[in-house]
Amino acid sequence: MQTGERESRAWAAWLIIVLGLGLLVLAMAFSITKGAAEIPLKTVWDALFHFNPEDTHHLIIMDLRLPRVVASALVGAAFAVAGAVMQGVTRNPMADSGLMGLNAGAGFVLSICFAFFPGLSYIQLILFSFLGSAMGAGLTYGIASLRRGGATPMRLVLAGAAVGALLAALSQGIALYFDVAQSIMFWTAGGVAASSWAQLRIMAPWIAAALLGAVVLSRSVSVMSLGDDVAKGLGLNTMLVKALCAAVVLMLAGASVAVVGAVGFVGLIVPHLARFLVGVDYRWIIPSSAVLGSLLVVLADLGARTLNPPFETPLGAVIALVGVPFFLYLARRERRVL
């Protein structure tokens, strides 16, 4: 890439990040005003800076809607960055925590926790989500690698679909047999309606640390995206980078699934959009993906609340309206490697 083009991409990335953050703040503020009770924007401002515990609207904003939009922004950034890191390291344009079995693995382990260990704390649920994500990813990669030629992008997607369907069926079977279906239904449908400050205090440090780790590793991810041979030729310790990136992805996916459940396609759509806008340098793709992912999930959650009031549409279904056509487009483009 020439110097002029590299500088223009950097300016484009900064523009997207700054404008994206501005739009994110506006979207979050507008989202807080919408719901079963319409709340003026001025009341939102007053609740944030002049909180009155005797005002019902202030309590709704601070205890229900604000943690919801903050959780939407955090998990949107987490899923998007997880997808970007996976796509860069594996050179698989269809990599996504949902398609690769990570979300299904976390959901399966959560169903076991609800059935057999109902008294677990939230931090323990997050840790078990990490283990479940690792299990789902391991099963997917192992199955995709069985055939000659290894784990091609399409084989990984097909294996991920099979593993996801199996783990989802097992999760539902456990939920029905042990009568914990109501507890698990929220994770199955996906959503941020039940998000609370207590959850955010536990989840946010994990996601923040993993996002920072992804930014630190972004240069190495750019090198890995050129291929293992090139990366080794440039002196990169590929095994160490893969291990660190795997830890980052598991933290991002595990913590997010523990909060919002099975929300897919964010990590598939957003990195492709970021790559189209800022180029192939992951030093810009990763922060751009974080901002765009947050914006996507905040807007999707707003849509979930306003499409069919007073009922809520599952967040995962709203995002799938965009994600499924995009997935089919990528599958058609990559069918030659099946």
- Across residues 60-68, what is the average pLDDT? 91
Given a cut of 80, is residue 191 above it in pLDDT?
no
Q: Read off the DSSP letter of residue 335.
A: G
Q: 54 is written with which tokens?
A: 């005797």
Cα–Cα distance between 50 and 297 in angstroms, integer? 28
Cα–Cα distance between 44 and 308 in angstroms, integer? 24
Q: How many residues does the chain have?
A: 338
pLDDT digits 0-9 by tens, 285-338: 999 999 999 999 999 999 888 887 777 777 888 888 888 888 788 777 765 544
Q: Which of 16-25, 103-112, 270-279 has the lowest mean pLDDT?
A: 103-112
Q: Are 69 and 62 in contact (CB under 8 A)?
A: no
Cα–Cα distance between 143 and 160 in angstroms, integer? 9
pLDDT at 337: 45
Q: 255 is written with which tokens?
A: 């913590």
Q: Phi/psi zone of residue 52: left (φ > 0), alpha (ψ -120 to 50 degrees), beta?
A: beta
What is the rounded average pLDDT for all residues in the chain? 86
- Residue 42: strand, helix, or coil: helix
Cis upstream peptide for 153 (omega within 30°): no
